Chains A and B, each alone.
Chain A
Amino acid sequence: MSSSHDKPVDPNQVVLWSDDYEGHDVISTRTFGFWMYILSDGMLFATLFAAYGVLSYSHSYYTGPTPAQFVAPWYTFIQTMALFLSVLAYGFSMASLKTGSKAGVINGIIASMVLGIVFVGLDIHDVLRMLSIGVTPEVSGGLSAFYALTQVHAAHIFVGLIWMLVMLYQILRKGFTEDVVGRLISLRMFWQFQAVMWVFIYVFVYLWGYMS
């Protein structure tokens, strides 16, 4: 990973090791490790997408309600925008971190939290509406898979909101130490990845369910 690879190696001149210890790059190591976790979280979503895929045939709903009867595309589109804006606000917060602006980072995280709470609030309201019209997980395999996939995603958002609260406290108490900055970067990847998964849930579960 160094530019010395471009030049021919002279055995008498070559430097085999660095004279001084460059330090362990904690942030890069943790960020890559957390990326591994995020991809395995992606495999969790893959299993739930697979379960929904095999349980979204018309016989999966038997004679019960299908997504075409209870999904409201524009309502869920507002949820989508709340989540995307929340991810954008968190991104702006991380751009403020480049200059070490504490106020910029905290304001961005608060904006991101508020929009995340809007997302979870809309989700809870939607679930209560569906439950009130008899669309419950125990009605059919199709509905069980629908609820499992959408609510596992909502649970991720909920965990992310708690994480943001913890990070606000740590920024105020500890400042931008190596640990705190590393956690902020991990949270950025976690939050952005939830938006990527939501794209698939929104299109393949909500929109496709609505049209079929």
Chain B
Amino acid sequence: MSHGHSNPIEHPEVQMASRGSYLTGFIIASLLMLAATILVSGQVLAPFPLLLTIMGCAGLAAIAQIYFLLHIDISEHNIWNTVALVMFIPLFVITIGLTWWMFSQLYLRTMPMIPGMPGMH
């Protein structure tokens, strides 16, 4: 990680900024969010395919932003940021996924049916 630049403007972390790449990330993420909004507000798909589609839109938009905006790639300067993110993603998914799975099983087994209470989906 040694570069030894005296002028901070010359630092690779500054010089990697790119209008084209930021604009690309913006356009991809915006179009995906627009598509998800149109699909949800129009209710053109059945609920489950609709859910899968908007999940796909979210995943692709996040990947586009991480790649084009946050410069997460395998170049020499960025590799450790990428490694840290790769380590982070399982933690993020497991934290949300296991909590959700645990509670969904708990609800199935313990939730009493109280009259007048809406059912579970």
Q: Which residues of A contact B18 (CB under 8 A)?
A: 95
Q: Which residues of A contact B3 (CB under 8 A)?
A: 22, 25, 28
Across the two chains, which residue of chain B brings its CB closest to A58?
Answer: B118
Tell whether A185 pairs with B14 under 8 Å between CB atoms, given A59-B117, A207-B37. yes
Q: Is the CB of A200 within 8 A of B14?
A: no
Q: Which residues of A contact B8 (CB under 8 A)?
A: 27, 176-178, 180-182
Q: Mark B66-100, 1 if CB is under 8 A from A, else 0.
A: 10011000001100110011001001100110011
Q: Is the CB of B120 within 8 A of A39?
A: no
Q: Is the CB of B43 within 8 A of A50?
A: no
Identify which of A116-124, A127-135, A162-170, A187-195 touches chain B: A187-195
Smallest CB separation, B119 vs chain A (Å): 7
Q: Is the CB of A58 within 8 A of B121?
A: yes
A-B CB pair tally, cutoff 8 Å:
180
Q: Is the CB of B55 within 8 A of A63?
A: no
Alpha-carbon gap, A80 to B91, bound state (A): 26
Smallest CB separation, A96 vs chain B (Å): 9
Q: Which residues of B contact A147 (CB under 8 A)?
A: none
Interface residue? A210 (CB, 8 A):
yes
A→B interface (CB under 8 Å): 1, 22-23, 25, 27-29, 31-32, 35-36, 39, 42-43, 46-47, 49-51, 53-54, 57-59, 61-63, 73-74, 77, 80-81, 84-85, 87-88, 91-92, 94-95, 97-100, 176-178, 180-182, 185, 188-189, 192-193, 195-196, 199-200, 202-204, 207-208, 210-212
